[in-house]
Amino acid sequence: MGTSLRDVARLAGVSVKTVSNVVNGYAHVSPATRAKVEGALSQLDYRPNLSARNLRQGRTGMIALALPELDAPYFAELSRCVIDAAAEHRWLVIIEQTGGGLERERRILDGVRDHHVDGLILSPVAVGAEELAARTDDTALVLLGERIYDGPADHVAIDNVRAAYDVTEHLIGLGRRRIAALGAQDDTASGTAPLRLAGYREALAAHGLPETVVKVDRYQRAEGAAAMTRLLASPEPPDAVFCFNDLLALGAMRTALAAGLRVPEDVALAGLDDIEDGRYSTPTLTTIAPDKNQLARIAVDLLKQRIDGHTARPPQEFTAGYHLIARESTMGGGLSRGVG
């Protein structure tokens, strides 16, 4: 359908390969022919056929980004960063949604060849280290956002243990003593939940405080709301809750306010992710802000290295930065409270 090199070559009166050379910026083309060819190129409005180019070169110029759900704000924001970072390498990004399920994560790991992307950035939830090690596909792979010990692939994340420690210590520093953790998960070996839990425990232990842990199935508002209901029903409700992500925190906040509690006076709340919602909730949400752009950039750059063939290098761990943002849900100063 579109114009091909053949058409351009015919019009310019040169060979197909010469046109190809001009298109690809090959050095040794005489100014005269180059001018001729470029004239023909723009006259016919030539666009290279990527399928053909990819077939010839064995590359597709596309990478896949597989994450649990696009409509979780954290992942949407992260996706945006990845797409932007990939654009710098002239890569297109195909987004796959795993739903956090083992079955679909497996299918994606296994089916990368189907789509013929050059590489895959996976934000794993269910899949574990041995699964990963056993995969037959040798497409470049980078893991994003979870820690899989001794995994067979490069990995980027923030230091989840330290981040959780920092949040907990922030709450302790504000004088809170009954600090609950909301967001633990049924003991999956992988995942960030155990790491965040570890950081929380370390901080409490360092100050000799007791721990309260509430589990959830998924990191969604509804789960946060439900878990908070359980917490408030306990004989000694917490005076602070560290939620393992912002969505849980926003759900918990909804429950607390609806129950007539003041946030943070009666109960302080903190999350992790720094999604935009938390900047506009009432009260605004204290959180850990991972450097999403850095995460995305490192992931993309690592993938690029793998794809370009530096595959000899053993899998490595990379850590992106984060910082604590103290807002009204712990510091107060906001004007919200429940109707007592």
Partner DNA sequence: CAACGTTGTTTCAACGTTGTAAACAGGTGC
Partner DNA sequence: GCACCTGTTTACAACGTTGAAACAACGTTG
Q: Residues interacting with DNA, by CB under 7 A?
A: 1-2, 4-6, 14-18, 20-21, 23-24, 26-30, 32-34, 46, 48-49, 52-53, 55-58
Q: From a second copy, DNA, none, which one binds at residue 130 (CB under 5 to 8 Å depending on kind)?
A: none
Rounded least distance, CB 6 to a second copy, Å: 14
Which residues contact residue 259 at a Cβ distance below 8 angstroms, ignoring those fewer than 6 apart? 232, 338
Nearer to DNA, 20 or 305 (CB): 20
Quickly count: other Cβ atoms within 10 Å of residue 42's Cβ: 10
Contact yes or no for 61/82 (Cβ under 8 A): no
Rounded least distance, CB 89 to DNA, Å: 16
Q: From DNA, a second copy, none, which one binds at residue 69 (CB under 5 to 8 Å depending on kind)?
A: a second copy
Rounded least distance, CB 239 to a second copy, Å: 20
Q: How far apart are CA 268 and CA 239, in angstroms?
A: 6
Q: From a second copy, DNA, none, which one binds at residue 337 (CB under 5 to 8 Å depending on kind)?
A: a second copy
Q: How far apart are CA 117 and CA 120, in angstroms?
A: 7
Nearer to DNA, 23 or 325 (CB): 23
Q: From DNA, a second copy, none, which one binds at residue 86 (CB under 5 to 8 Å depending on kind)?
A: none
Rounded least distance, CB 258 to a second copy, Å: 5
Q: From a second copy, DNA, none, which one binds at residue 203 (CB under 5 to 8 Å depending on kind)?
A: none
Q: How far apart are CA 314 and CA 305, in angstroms?
A: 12
**Residue 176, SS3?**
coil
The residue type found at 20 is S
Quickly count: other Cβ atoms within 10 Å of residue 20's Cβ: 16
